A and B are shown apart, each in its own frame.
Chain A
Amino acid sequence: MSDAAALLPTQGTDFAAALAAAPVPNLRRVGGEMFAWSDRDPQRAPALPRGAVLRFLLGQFAGPGRAVLVAGPHADELVAALADSGAAVTWLLRSLADAEEAARTRPDITVLAGAAVKLDPAERFDLVVAVDGVERLNSAEGEQLSAAELIDRLAGAVRPDGVLVLMHDNRLGLHHTVRLEPGGQGRRDATWYAVDEYDTHRPASQEQLTARLADSGLTVGAAYAAFPEPATPTVLVGAGLLGNVSSPVRPRLGTALSQALAAGFRGRPVLSDPRHLANRALLAGAEATIAPAWLVIARAPGEGAAPAIGTHELLIGDVRGTFAYEVAAASESTVRTTVLQPLAEPIERSGLRRISEPVAPGADVGHVLEERLLHLAATDDLRQLRVEMAQYVTWLHEQASDGVLVGPVAVAGLADIFVIEDGPTLLPTRWEPVEPVPLAVAEIRAIWQFAVQLITSGQPHPWPVTSSAVDLTAVLLGMVGLAAADADLRAAVDLHVALEAADFELSLSQQHDRQLELLAVTPGTASVDVAGFRELTEALWRQRYEASHLLAMMEWTEQIIKSRDLQLSKIDWEVQFYRKTWAGRFLWVARSAYRVITRDSRKFLHGRRQRKAAAVDPAALR
């Protein structure tokens, strides 16, 4: 039961409205359909699967004359895209209310209301789409199938030469590992069966999933590790790159995953920032092991000459909309970036314009600047840090003309900079400013953002644990002989907030709050993007360190004041001695007299010398 529903009486079925509704001819009840239920309610169930990469992949297998089964709840735009391609779409939904709405909205698709177990086994499809996984294919009514049986059931619905596109949740995935959701199991209305961690038949790895599908006669043609969450995959890692630590695309993967996880887990309380875990897994080539889900595309054997299933090394796309692109190795040392689906329409928000054509360096032997700096910070290599900072700043200054930057470089963070042999280059970014940005502001924003990351994510660095983001920005800028003026720093934070506002569509009040939060990143600040519990405890530790130092300082200040008071008293006594006592006055008069005498005698001698000189040369006096 949802939080609100736990306290309020459940609203019953509105029979009057049901009777008044026009009958929908494209809806068929197959049995097991749920009443007074919706999978579209975020309070009751997880988000619906969506995203540009899914849209792109599914689009490859749809088309006129193709019979498509969409199994389970999916975002409307995914189903609409399939139907719009001319395919005959059948959509299975367990919620009757959802099914009715779908049938009404899209008269061109057939909607089946009910549980997967009630699907007609004789009905086969060219494409079976289950990118929501199998968890929402059982209904509360009637017979329950296990996860493995549901996979078999979906595989059985694929026609010869047909294709199954299945997203399978990884229980070892980092999204489960970092989950901090007290009472999560008991709170969700959809978990009438808790997550069973002892189900030995449920495929628990990508290999087991492939094997299970093979048992049903399907061959996996493409398998991807999906990030940051099963329902919103924005990064898919495929064959060629998956597990291959020597791939030239590898450096790009780190940045892509880090950004995807930051956006995916933004503001959500978690046990620990998932980026740390992802980074460790990437170094080990173990991304498939910790991926939140695997997306597999499997084909049923057949007689026809079905085109082979294409694979992609790295697919990156938007959560909403159509924009998706591919990064692939072009040779052993170069990569290419190809837009697969363009932006549907130009986007402008908060003074920024969405980039529709990601441009990336061809050569890929190098390193992402941010990762390099994090490594150097962790190893206290100040010398090399200065070298890297100098190289970056010089490059950035070269990009500017008349003290301003235009284009994506103006809002590029250090994670967007790729350093190759010839120097830094820009990786694909999402936004560019509409108006030029002053160089100082752009530079401070990038460095300040790095400082914020160092502090709030508990990264090791060679500077005091009691540093604020402003302190660290001053140090990093100081390394290259620059200093940040307060006005520039403010403008940099404003620019950063604009970037976040564009990315996450923040309201004006959210932008205001965010600005205040970011301006005050101190040692006691926990994460400002992903709310990690570990990062919170780190922040607490830093705060305690600072507090203990401040207490010691107070004690010391008391002592020093006493000591200085004593010194002052002694000096005061000396001054009074000179001023008041006869001995003091005598000393003072004697010293003054000595000074006057020496001064006057010097004057006298000087005058006499001049007079003598004048006597010798009278012209000298004139």
Chain B
Amino acid sequence: MSASQQPAMDEGMHHANYHYGHAHLLARYCDLPEPLHPPRLQGYLQHGWNMGDGLAPGTPYVHGSRIFVWSEETRRRSWSQGRRDVIVVGAPFAYLLEMEPEPADAPEPEGTIFYPFHGWEGQQISGDHSRLIDEVKATETGSVTACLYWNEFRMKSVRRIYERAGFRVICHGYRGFWWRDHNRDFLVGQLAELRKHRRVVSNRLCSAVWYGALAGREVAVYGDPMVLDNADPTFGGEPRLRRQWPEVYGNQTDYDACHALARQQLGADELAHPDELRAYLGWPASTERFK
């Protein structure tokens, strides 16, 4: 079916496409008339960096749908897991950086933004926040901002642990669920915070670390990785992260190596042209032929 034949709806087949304002961001990149209400996206968009097939456990996926993944490596892995129609489009965050390059007169970044590894609505983490805080304080020299996941941010007890440690505690917002309550500017806010800081650290390799590296910040992963209560070991779990991407581990890391890896993992060199992306996502083609 050609793109022009697709019905325009403000809701999509896969609700996770709207997490973090991903679909909205891509609609903005594609220059759609109403980026805050993007049309249905014909497929499943990878919504977080992962070491699996690009899908997320527990998120509905309609068999046979196109899967839009962030990197060529994920595409290969996904294919090996029996997935087909997997298309590399790159991470929405990488598109955001394309649209909003860092201004030359941006204030000098300072301090560290720290992302304690979070669970999500369905999986809680178990681990010792205090020990982690001690380690961060011992390693980081400047001020520290702790960015909590929304459900931890709402738990006063957890928030207070970080506040007492003297950290500035923030949250990027709620990623949304079932087409409701999305923070459409989630990534915009996250990018602004990342740019304020010189270093991005976490106790576990996650999207935020790659985002930081892509945004040109120093990154480091160290400390108690805190395991998920019911973590899925199919793709090797936390030990595999260390083995496969040792470059980002440690208190200090090699900037160039981490940046190059981030470009790879977020598909920053694979970004599609807006017209091409419209064709992939099943969005209407631009009517203007020559730009």
The reply to whether B88 and A483 contact each other, CB–CB distance below 8 Å, is no
Contact of B134 with A by CB under 8 A: no
Residues of B within 8 A of A587 (CB): none
Interface residues of A in 451-468 (CB under 8 A from B): 462-466, 468
Residues of A within 8 A of B273 (CB): 386, 478-481
The reply to whether A380 and B88 contact each other, CB–CB distance below 8 Å, is yes
Contact of B289 with A by CB under 8 A: yes
The reply to whether A474 and B3 contact each other, CB–CB distance below 8 Å, is yes
Contact of B151 with A by CB under 8 A: no
Contact of A69 with B by CB under 8 A: no
Cβ contact of A478, chosen from B11, B65, B278, cutoff 8 A: B278
CA distance A93 to B195 in the complex (A): 89
- B12 to chain A minimum Cβ distance, whole angstroms, is 10
How many chain B residues touch A (CB < 8 A): the figure is 37
Contact of B87 with A by CB under 8 A: yes
Residues of A within 8 A of B275 (CB): 474, 477-479, 481-483
CA distance A45 to B274 in the complex (A): 57
Contact of A391 with B by CB under 8 A: no
Cβ contact of B65, chosen from A477, A485, A549, cutoff 8 A: A549
CA distance A195 to B62 in the complex (A): 54
* Best-buried of B60, B72, B277 by chain A (most CB within 10 Å): B72
Contact of B285 with A by CB under 8 A: yes
The closest CB in chain A to the CB of B284 belongs to: A483
- B73 to chain A minimum Cβ distance, whole angstroms, is 11
Residues of A within 8 A of B3 (CB): 471, 474
Contact of A580 with B by CB under 8 A: no
The closest CB in chain B to the CB of A470 belongs to: B2
The reply to whether A464 and B276 contact each other, CB–CB distance below 8 Å, is no
Residues of A within 8 A of B278 (CB): 474, 478
Interface residues on A, range: 35 or more
Binary A-proximity of B270-286 (CB < 8 A = 1, otherwise 0): 10111111111000011
Contact of B287 with A by CB under 8 A: yes
The reply to whether A471 and B279 contact each other, CB–CB distance below 8 Å, is yes
Residues of A within 8 A of B270 (CB): 382-383
CA distance A474 to B280 in the complex (A): 9
CA distance A588 to B279 in the complex (A): 46
Residues of A within 8 A of B277 (CB): 478
Do A478 and B87 contact each other (CB < 8 Å), given the known contacts A483-B288, A556-B13?
no
Residues of B within 8 A of A545 (CB): 64, 84
- A239 to chain B minimum Cβ distance, whole angstroms, is 44
Residues of B within 8 A of A518 (CB): none
Residues of A within 8 A of B289 (CB): 440, 482-483, 485, 488
Contact of B164 with A by CB under 8 A: no
Do A382 and B85 contact each other (CB < 8 Å), given the known contacts A474-B3, A478-B275, A482-B275?
no
Contact of B98 with A by CB under 8 A: no
Contact of A308 with B by CB under 8 A: no
The closest CB in chain B to the CB of A476 belongs to: B276
Residues of B within 8 A of A481 (CB): 273-275, 291
- B277 to chain A minimum Cβ distance, whole angstroms, is 7
Residues of B within 8 A of A383 (CB): 269-270
Do A475 and B85 contact each other (CB < 8 Å), given the known contacts A383-B270, A483-B287?
no
The reply to whether B72 and A552 contact each other, CB–CB distance below 8 Å, is no
Residues of B within 8 A of A478 (CB): 272-279, 285
Contact of A590 with B by CB under 8 A: no
The reply to whether B75 and A548 contact each other, CB–CB distance below 8 Å, is no
Cβ contact of A475, chosen from B62, B178, B276, B286, cutoff 8 A: B276
- B272 to chain A minimum Cβ distance, whole angstroms, is 7
CA distance A564 to B87 in the complex (A): 29
Contact of B156 with A by CB under 8 A: no
Residues of A within 8 A of B184 (CB): none
- B286 to chain A minimum Cβ distance, whole angstroms, is 5
The reply to whether B1 and A468 contact each other, CB–CB distance below 8 Å, is yes
The closest CB in chain A to the CB of B14 belongs to: A556
The closest CB in chain A to the CB of B288 belongs to: A483
Interface residues of B in 156-184 (CB under 8 A from A): 178
Contact of B22 with A by CB under 8 A: no
Residues of A within 8 A of B290 (CB): 482
CA distance A546 to B274 in the complex (A): 26
Contact of B197 with A by CB under 8 A: no
Contact of A614 with B by CB under 8 A: no
Contact of B63 with A by CB under 8 A: yes
* Best-buried of B60, B66, B276, B291 by chain A (most CB within 10 Å): B276
Contact of A613 with B by CB under 8 A: no
Contact of A347 with B by CB under 8 A: no
- A466 to chain B minimum Cβ distance, whole angstroms, is 7
Contact of A597 with B by CB under 8 A: no
Cβ contact of B66, chosen from A464, A552, A560, A564, cutoff 8 A: A464
CA distance A550 to B42 in the complex (A): 12
Interface residues of A in 30-45 (CB under 8 A from B): none
Contact of A553 with B by CB under 8 A: yes
Do A465 and B85 contact each other (CB < 8 Å), given the known contacts A386-B273, A475-B279, A478-B277?
yes
- B219 to chain A minimum Cβ distance, whole angstroms, is 24
Residues of A within 8 A of B274 (CB): 478, 481
CA distance A549 to B63 in the complex (A): 6
CA distance A550 to B64 in the complex (A): 8
Do A471 and B72 contact each other (CB < 8 Å), given the known contacts A383-B269, A465-B84, A466-B85?
no
The reply to whether A556 and B88 contact each other, CB–CB distance below 8 Å, is no
- B268 to chain A minimum Cβ distance, whole angstroms, is 11
Residues of A within 8 A of B60 (CB): 556
Cβ contact of B87, chosen from A440, A463, A486, cutoff 8 A: A463
Residues of A within 8 A of B11 (CB): 564
CA distance A464 to B69 in the complex (A): 13
Residues of A within 8 A of B279 (CB): 471, 474-475, 478
Residues of B within 8 A of A462 (CB): 75, 87-88
CA distance A560 to B66 in the complex (A): 18
- B5 to chain A minimum Cβ distance, whole angstroms, is 10
- A46 to chain B minimum Cβ distance, whole angstroms, is 43
- B64 to chain A minimum Cβ distance, whole angstroms, is 3
CA distance A386 to B85 in the complex (A): 19
CA distance A553 to B287 in the complex (A): 29
Binary A-proximity of B67-98 (CB < 8 A = 1, otherwise 0): 00000100100000000110110000000000
* Best-buried of A468, A477, A488, A563 by chain B (most CB within 10 Å): A477
Cβ contact of A483, chosen from B65, B85, B285, cutoff 8 A: B285
* Best-buried of A471, A483, A486 by chain B (most CB within 10 Å): A483
Residues of A within 8 A of B286 (CB): 483
The reply to whether A548 and B64 contact each other, CB–CB distance below 8 Å, is yes
CA distance A454 to B287 in the complex (A): 26
The reply to whether B64 and A479 contact each other, CB–CB distance below 8 Å, is no
The reply to whether A474 and B64 contact each other, CB–CB distance below 8 Å, is no
The closest CB in chain A to the CB of B90 belongs to: A382
Using CB atoms and an 8 Å cutoff, list the residues of chain B in contact with chain A.
1-4, 11, 13, 60, 62-66, 72, 75, 84-85, 87-88, 178, 269-270, 272-280, 285-291
Enumerate 28 A-B pairs (CB-CB under 8 Å) in ascending A order. Answer: A382-B88, A386-B273, A386-B276, A463-B87, A463-B280, A464-B66, A464-B87, A466-B85, A471-B2, A471-B3, A471-B279, A474-B278, A475-B280, A477-B275, A478-B274, A478-B277, A481-B274, A482-B275, A482-B290, A483-B275, A486-B4, A549-B62, A552-B62, A552-B64, A552-B65, A553-B64, A560-B13, A567-B178
| A-B contacts besides A386-B273, A479-B273, 20 pairs, CB < 8 Å | A380-B88, A386-B276, A466-B64, A471-B3, A474-B2, A475-B279, A477-B275, A478-B272, A478-B273, A478-B277, A478-B279, A479-B272, A481-B274, A482-B275, A488-B289, A545-B64, A548-B64, A550-B64, A553-B13, A553-B65
The 8 lowest CB-CB distance pairs between A and B, nearest first, are: A549-B64, A478-B276, A478-B275, A552-B63, A474-B279, A464-B85, A483-B285, A475-B279
Using CB atoms and an 8 Å cutoff, list the residues of chain A in contact with chain B.
380, 382-383, 386, 440, 462-466, 468, 470-471, 474-475, 477-486, 488, 545-546, 548-550, 552-553, 556, 560, 563-564, 567
